[in-house]
């Protein structure tokens, strides 16, 4: 794939993750209206005292690794279950927000495909 396009996608994904991950700590973005089931799940994760912070910290760390191009293949693998869960959350609980979740997942898939050579040894 075009290296400039890969770089743009990697940095864009990193910035998205840093911003949305930091929001889980600093709460600087307005809250979206959510259907009841989605709000209940998010409320339970917030009340747990750690779950949203864990996801937020993971997003910030993965985002920084992608921006800095440090261990990017590892960062993309760590992000994979998070991005799939974002799509599933919106697909089943809050369909209105599926667009951004799908974009994050699509960029993650594209970047994993682009760095597939880094994963070949895992499948030998």
Structure tokens at 62: 């993965």
Structure tokens at 123: 């499948």
32 versus 115: the higher-pLDDT residue is 115
- pLDDT tens, 27-82? 899 988 899 999 999 999 999 999 999 999 999 999 999 999 999 999 999 999 99
Is 91's pLDDT higher than 80?
Answer: yes
Is 124's pLDDT higher than 80?
Answer: no
Contacts of 27 (CB under 8 A, 6+ apart): none
Angstrom distance (rounded) from CA 61 to CA 55: 10
Q: Where are the domains of the chain?
A: 3-123
CA distances from 24 to 35, 46, 60, 102, 109 (A): 19, 9, 10, 20, 24
Q: What is the pTM of this model?
A: 0.90
Lowest mean pLDDT among 18-22, 30-34, 110-114, 120-124: 120-124
């Amino acid at each position: 794939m075009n290296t400039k396009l890969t770089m743009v996608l990697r940095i864009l994904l990193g910035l998205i993750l840093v911003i949305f991950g930091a929001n889980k700590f600093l709460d600087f973005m307005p809250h979206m209206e959510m259907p009841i089931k989605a709000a209940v799940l998010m409320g339970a994760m917030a009340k747990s005292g750690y779950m949203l912070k864990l996801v937020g910290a993971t997003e910030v760390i993965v985002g920084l690794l992608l921006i800095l191009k440090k261990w990017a293949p590892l960062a993309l693998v760590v992000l994979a279950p998070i991005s799939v869960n974002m799509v599933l959350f919106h697909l089943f609980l809050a369909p209105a927000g599926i667009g951004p979740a799908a974009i994050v997942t699509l960029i993650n898939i594209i970047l994993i495909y682009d760095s597939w050579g880094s994963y070949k040894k895992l499948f030998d």
